[in-house]
A and B are shown apart, each in its own frame.
Chain A
Amino acid sequence: NNAKDAKSTLDKDDSRDIARQKTQEEILFHEETIDLGGDEFESEENETVSEDSNNFVDKLNEQMMESVIISDSPNNSEDDTGELGCLQEIVDQIEAKDNQKTQAEVDKEEFLSNESETEHEETPKDISEIGTDDQTSLKEESIQEAVKEEPKLGNNVPVETKPNNIGESKPEDQILSPSTTKPSSEAEPIPVCTIFSQANNASTQPQLFLPDGFEPQMVKSPSFSSIIETPVKSNPQVVQPSPSLSKFFGDPASTNTLASDFFDSFTTSNFISVSNPNANSSVPEQMSSLSNGGDGSSSNPTFPVQNGRPEAGGPPSSLEVTQSPKPFSQIQAVFAGSDDPFATALNMSELDRRNDAWIPSEETRNVLISVATQQYSTVFIDKENLTMPGLKFDNIQGDAVKDLMLRFLGEQAAVKRQVLNANSVEQSFVGLKQLISSKNWRAAVDLCGRLLTAHGQGYKKSGLPASHTTDSLQLWFVRLALLVKLNLFQNAEMEFEPFGNLDQPDLYYEYYPNVYPGRKGSMVPFSMRILHAELPQYLGNPQESLDRLHSMKIICAKILENLEQGLAEDGSMTNITQENRQASVQLWRSRLGRVMYSMANCLLMMKDYVLAVDAYHTVIKYYPQQEPQLLSGIGRIFLQIGDIKTAEKYFQDVEKATHKLDGLQSQIMVLMNRAFLHLGQNNFAEAHRFFTEILRIDSSNAVANNNAAVCLLYLGKLKDSLRQLEGMVQQDPKHYLHESVLFNLTTMYELESSRSMQKKQALLEAVAIKEGDSFNTQCLKLG
């Protein structure tokens, strides 16, 4: 604070000038407001004119809105003579404005002026300010780190090649080793997959599936029966971009499985995680490498064998290719899964349909229909309508904790810091999960990037045609979700951008009738849509978030409506068993609830509290089991606004709601709310009592612990407060090394002593042991 003042005194002359300018502006502004006031009331005035028998001048006077001087305080107000005219008022406003300006700057600094200035020295340096600047720039560096490692990447990765015939062997694998097969095998009838509407049905059916009589139901497992048939029949041009890719793309059985199996498919089949980078560099190149068996095959010896039949590695003119990547979509060739039990597939597709259902826009739907109807002639699609994602930056790996350790604790200490990175885990989904759960999200983002590179969607691949699979989209989802979790919103936005509104035709299964025969719906995970919708609000554009959420809400509602009317999710006429319908309704209701949740959160962020509260009320309808929590949340919103009375009302509702169910959880909730209420009434002592009460019931309650400590500080018991927080962190560092707790702790250290640095560094060491690379070091305030 003082630092600011010192600066401002230096620049006093300048600021005076500015102030003078301001004055003029202000006067203008002020006059304007008066005028406005007059205008506003003119209409009313006109009405009253005739009623009044007073003379006109008086009326004119009345019209003016008079500015009123706010006296300093209730106690002082009597002294005001009230003679202060308009002019003075203007001055006041200027001052206020001016102050606001400087205040804004002052705000940036920390109030905690620990600078040890003595006597009349009024010019301390603001170390902390410089420090924070440093920190941010540091972060940026690590983000923008060069991409050069990319080529190396491929080499680092253990390339395990197994000469297995990908197309065919996969299903066989599953049969042979039951551990990798899907868990369910009940026979369930698969509904006929109609495309969107009955009318198209007739025309699409024969082409899509086995010509088995066109009876619009019960095609045999579409994934197996038709595949064998179709490629043979009319699609000799089967293109296999890269072995690893085909592995991913080619196996509908594995992609159809539950998430858990889905990992297995990667790990147990020894996929070639990162194939020859050259092979992936661009699609036309791939084509050529394919046709002449060039470098692509040399790096992956298994390649030529792959499809089990001599492929006409097809030179479909690369010209055509660039115009429309359609041929690439027909990547997958052969599925020898005919002997795989139908039942599994049938059940899977029931699940698939339920989960993947989505209603495309009119435009997209038309494209999809045309894909379905003219299956083998190339459908030309505008490049703009295609999703061509690629990594926008590579290697955000970096460990802020380690960097800080290097700076403050020296190299030796820093060496001890060991975290997993993208290289130290298996290059697979298992490794990815490992990174995520150990909170090494930066490394996980990198690993996602590598896996996506293997899918041909790596760095600089944005804008190039790409084929999408369930896996590639899941990988994108994970990557983007982690970026959001790391607060790297800009990066996430950049990489999200090629996906458009997630409604492009090539993001639907129908676009790839050969790869995913009969499968319908969107490849985009629902959670990715949520993420996509939520993202703009973190970038200062909540309105866009609301728009996206609204369109999601509409589709969810439509799907529910379809289900209620006895249709399938996408509105097609499909027989769904009661049981499945029930499950589907349940799923989509909870999804709709999730959308409402996001909306409520977004409104809360926009500080539109009235609507936010309404939205949370709606959420309660979808998640009745969360009612007490949500009501408490609404109560806290009112508390934040300052509306203590309404907050109290909500807290009482919570007590009523939890009255029936007794349990630790609800007991804590009630106590917590009471504590917050006291907080709102400025009664920190009582609040502390209630927080402590919670700790008696549940001594490991981090929130209560932290909040009790905060109360202690407000009661002037800094040492006690510190003891409580420190005790908590030591007791269970794994759990309590949370950003907010550490922030409070460092703030108190700063308040306590000018030697807070040592204690902060001690915290850094603790963090180094327990936390992954995703730790937000800002809360340590180590500049």
Chain B
Amino acid sequence: LAVMRLTKPTLFTNIPVTCEERDLPGNLFNQLMKDDPSTVKGAEALMLGEMLTLPQNFGNIFLGETFSSYISVHNDSNQIVKDILVKADLQTSSQRLNLSASSAAVAELKPDCCIDDVIHHEVKEIGTHILVCAVSYTTQTGEKMYFRKFFKFQVLKPLDVKTKFYNAETDEVFLEAQIQNITTSPMFMEKVSLEPSMMYNVAELNTVDTAGESESTFGARAYLQPMDTRQYLYCLKPKQEFAEKAGVIKGVTVIGKLDIVWKTNLGERGRLQTSQLQRMAPGYGDVRLSLETIPDTVNLEEPFDITCKITNCSERTMDLVLEMCNTNSIHWCGVSGRQLGKLHPSSSLHLALTLLSSVQGLQSVSGLRLTDTFLKRTYEYDDIAQVCVVSSEVK
């Protein structure tokens, strides 16, 4: 019984040594290269040949790849044996899988003949795996024989994935995923996609549209060298039905999972998915104030309008009072201490405010205070947005 792992064959590389007509060996070296069957005819100096060679060692096997193996049972004796049953099991730390294609016994095996089997298994666990091959047969004398062999190998982790979330003001979530190749061979990333959970729609931000053609932000380099890291960016938008209900997307939410498909030598394929990515939704506190409209540029000392949206994220009704505090540069117009009235849970109100800036440059809109009169709790809102203040002559 012999077992060989069938990784993809490799291409034979030769070492070109050339010379010129006038050199001492004449065309001898070139002729030698031409005669060498492993060179590419007509382009002998090309290092990468066409000759396939079988894998020389077990190599590494990574999670998500397919483990293929050749199992050959050969009758070395000079007797016919009968009722041969070959069983190949894969023992992992958690389970035992049967990999044999057929479980039927072979009636007889003549001397110097063999039973061949090629098994495939997609590796789903990290760590030690043991391939257990068991052969049982009956000799000519009717004796029942049985033997086993163990082949142990380790399954390694191919990728290191790190993620990071950014919450945008508009309820969008940006997911940044760093995928690092921690194998020892280059890896062609065939597909890296985010499968969003039911609450989100996803837009991939890894291509740039140039002249109608989308071009990968990674350029022509479609593969990852060992230890290289690539950063993918995704934009998640809550679906309309969920976006409406503020507060639903709150606390820990499931965003989705990354699906990664890669290929290595001669199309050896691997596929992985991450576990569900979760994020802590930004806590908005009890009351959320967001901006709906604001001008980009305003004139110095000229009033301008902004629109705010105030949402009650708590579970109780609030009675709110709005205070507006002037800062060095920002001056609010209107009455401070205005009653906004009762706000029910998950409901919101829009508020138009007028203000002016007395200082040029990029100014931060700050100084809004909301007080919940029921609980006597004050919420401060500073640095809500920025406006560019220019002198009116310039404009």
Contacts and interface: CB of A to CB of B under 8 A. Distances in A.
Interface of A: 1-2, 4-5, 33, 37, 41, 48, 50-55, 58, 61-77, 80, 82, 84, 92-93, 95-96, 99-100, 102-103, 106-114, 117-120, 122, 258-260, 262-263, 351, 355, 429, 432-433, 436-437, 439, 471, 474-475, 477-478, 481, 484-485, 487, 525-527, 530-531, 538, 594, 597-598, 601, 604-605, 607, 609-610, 623, 625-626, 628-630, 632-633, 636-637, 639-644, 646, 665, 672, 676, 679-682, 702-703, 706-707, 710, 713-719, 735-736, 738-741, 743-744, 747-748, 750-755
Contacts of A439: 32
Nearest to B281: A58
Given A62-B167, A107-B58, A527-B20, A643 B222 contact: yes
Given A112-B2, A672-B50, A119 B57 contact: no
B37 A703 contact: yes
Contacts of B149: 2, 113, 117-118
Contact of A706 (B48, B52, B221): B52
Contacts of B384: 53
B230 interface: no
B116 A58 contact: no
Contacts of B6: 713-714
B266 A111 contact: no
Interface string B157-173: 10111111111010000
B323 interface: no
B154 A481 contact: no
B19 A527 contact: yes
B127 A95 contact: yes
A748 B9 CA distance: 13
A679 B147 contact: no
B223 A609 contact: yes
Contacts of B262: 642
A642 B275 contact: no
B317 to A, nearest CB: 23
A63 to B, nearest CB: 8
A92 B266 contact: no
Contacts of B91: none
B152 A5 contact: yes
Contact of A77 (B2, B163, B275): B275
A481 B40 contact: no
A744 B126 contact: no
A48 B262 CA distance: 34
Nearest to B223: A641
Contacts of B237: none
B90 to A, nearest CB: 14
Interface residues of B, number: 133
B234 interface: no
B50 A740 contact: no
Interface in B331-383: 364, 381, 383
Contact of A114 (B2, B116, B166, B254): B2
A665 B43 CA distance: 12
Nearest to B51: A740
B304 interface: no
A707 B51 contact: yes
Interface string B98-132: 00000000000000111011100011111100000
Contacts of B147: 118-119
A63 B259 CA distance: 23
A141 B282 CA distance: 71
Given A68-B275, A433-B28, A754 B54 contact: no
Interface stretch (B180-188, B242-250, B295-303): B180-188
Given A103-B156, A525-B20, A642-B188, A77 B257 contact: yes
B144 to A, nearest CB: 14
Given A1-B58, A55-B285, A525-B20, 9 more contacts: A58-B280, A65-B178, A92-B157, A103-B154, A433-B26, A481-B17, A630-B46, A641-B222, A641-B223
Contact of A433 (B25, B56, B160, B271): B25
Contacts of A744: 52-54
Contacts of A48: 166
B81 interface: no
A122 B147 CA distance: 12
Contact of B164 (A64, A74, A429, A604): A64
B17 A106 contact: no
Contact of B37 (A82, A92, A632, A735): A735
A620 B253 CA distance: 55
Nearest to B148: A119
Given A73-B273, A641-B186, A682 B21 contact: no
Interface stretch (B69-77, B198-206, B208-216): B69-77
Contact of B17 (A73, A485, A755): A485
A695 B338 CA distance: 92
A436 B381 contact: no
Contact of B381 (A53, A478, A735, A740): A53
- The 3 A-B residue pairs with the shortest CB-CB distance, nearest first, are A642-B263, A111-B58, A642-B188
Contacts of A68: 161-163, 177, 258, 274-275, 277
Contact of B54 (A108, A475, A743): A743
B69 to A, nearest CB: 9
Contact of A99 (B19, B127, B186, B381): B127
B40 to A, nearest CB: 5
Contact of A53 (B52, B153, B159, B289): B289
Contacts of A640: 11, 48, 265-266
Contacts of A531: 17
Contact of B70 (A474, A672, A751): A751
B273 A259 contact: no
Contacts of B267: 639, 642, 644, 679-682
A65 B262 CA distance: 23
Could you say which of B124, B149, B289, B290 has the most chain A C-beta atoms within 10 Å of its C-beta? B149
29 contacts: A2-B152, A41-B164, A55-B285, A68-B162, A70-B157, A73-B272, A82-B275, A96-B157, A99-B155, A103-B60, A112-B4, A113-B3, A119-B148, A258-B21, A259-B21, A429-B24, A484-B15, A594-B45, A601-B46, A604-B47, A641-B223, A642-B188, A682-B267, A714-B6, A716-B116, A738-B36, A738-B37, A738-B51, A747-B56
Nearest to A112: B4
Contact of B114 (A55, A525, A752): A752
Nearest to A613: B220
Nearest to B280: A61
A117 B117 CA distance: 20
A92 B126 contact: yes
B251 interface: no
A68 B232 CA distance: 14
A69 B118 contact: no
Contacts of B275: 68-71, 77, 80, 82, 84
Contacts of B83: none
A609 B186 contact: yes
A91 B300 CA distance: 59
A258 B163 CA distance: 67
Nearest to B3: A113
A536 B82 CA distance: 58
Contacts of B118: 714-716
B57 A740 contact: no
B76 A630 contact: no
A652 B51 CA distance: 21
Given A739-B38, A752-B74, A633 B277 contact: no
B196 interface: no
A589 B18 CA distance: 16
Contact of A73 (B20, B57, B64, B278): B64
Contact of B59 (A77, A107, A113, A598): A107
A305 to B, nearest CB: 29
A440 to B, nearest CB: 12
B18 A530 contact: yes
A601 to B, nearest CB: 4
B273 to A, nearest CB: 5
